[in-house]
Amino acid sequence: MVKSQTKPAKGSSRISMDDLMDAVGITSIAELSEQSSVSLRTIYNCRYSKHVPNNGTVYLLAVALDTDSKTIRSAIADLE
């Protein structure tokens, strides 16, 4: 199920990766990696603008964070 009602952080028009993680009770990158089957290194590289994730990675993160791919891409773009 895709959740589209996660709210952006106060003072922001976009939601952050941390907000998405908080919304589903994921407390660390290691836990996100485990839940999404995306490697720690890939998540780290996405979060710190080392590379842009491919569609498969975005999909896996979206499923783990109970949101849609567009929200994930927006949260990652916010970090850049």
Q: What is the pLDDT of residue 2?
A: 42
Give me the mean pLDDT over the 15-21 stretch. 90
Q: What's the DSSP call for residue 54?
A: P
H/E/C letters for each residue in 6-53?
CCCCCCCCCCCHHHHHHHHCCCCHHHHHHHHCCCHHHHHHHHCCCCCC
Residue 77: band (very low, low, confident or very high) from pLDDT cuts 50, 70, 90 = confident
Residue 64 has pLDDT above 60, yes or no: yes
What's the predicted TM-score (pTM) here? 0.78
Give the pLDDT confidence of 40-61 residue by residue, as tens digits. Answer: 999 998 888 788 899 999 999 9
Q: What is the pLDDT of residue 60?
A: 97
